[in-house]
Amino acid sequence: MQPPTKKDVANWPKCSFFGVFDGHGGNTCADFLRDNLHQFIIKDAAFPQNPRQAIFNGYKKAESYFLDTVEAFASGRPHMLDKSGSCAIVALLVEKKVFVVNVGDSRAIMSADGGNFCYNLSIDHKPNDEVEQ
């Protein structure tokens, strides 16, 4: 991952990144995502022109990097293999557009009109749903 240059960032639209990482089986994976997922997304070649593709690529690259790192650390020491995982729900705001991506059963909602209306921005991924099987 090459970091974007100051010149690149100066030309970006206004962006905000929010994420919730709900770990299970330990905190290693959730901590990794908290600290790194946004970097995988903004350093992707598709960002900021194609945020949807950059998010997709960033998720895949983060997963691959995490798994490779965990496996390399435990090489020859199977008892040291980290078995943590994490749900990950992210909202990326680019100018006036919001991109929401969910892996797992975390949930994103948006309120409007001073809280009088509430909108679901995500769908839970549950193993018993036919779509997930």
The model's pLDDT over 6-16, given as tens digits with 9 standing for 90+, comes to 666 677 889 99
Sign of CA dihedral 19, 31, 104, 102: positive
Segments making up each domain of the chain, as ranges: 13-132
Cβ atoms within 10 Å of 32's Cβ, excluding its own: 20
Q: Fill in the amino acid letter for 23.
A: G
Cβ pair 54, 46 in contact under 8 A: yes
Contact assessment for residue 45 and residue 102, using Cβ atoms and an 8 Å cutoff: no
pTM, two decimal places: 0.83
Give the residue ranges of the chain where pLDDT is below 50. none
Return the pLDDT at 125.
Answer: 81
Q: Which CATH entry fits the domain spanning 13-132: 1.10.10.10, 1.10.3720.10, 3.40.50.10470, 3.60.40.10?
A: 3.60.40.10
Chain segment 29-46, per-residue pLDDT in tens: 999 999 999 999 999 999
- pLDDT at position 6 is 60
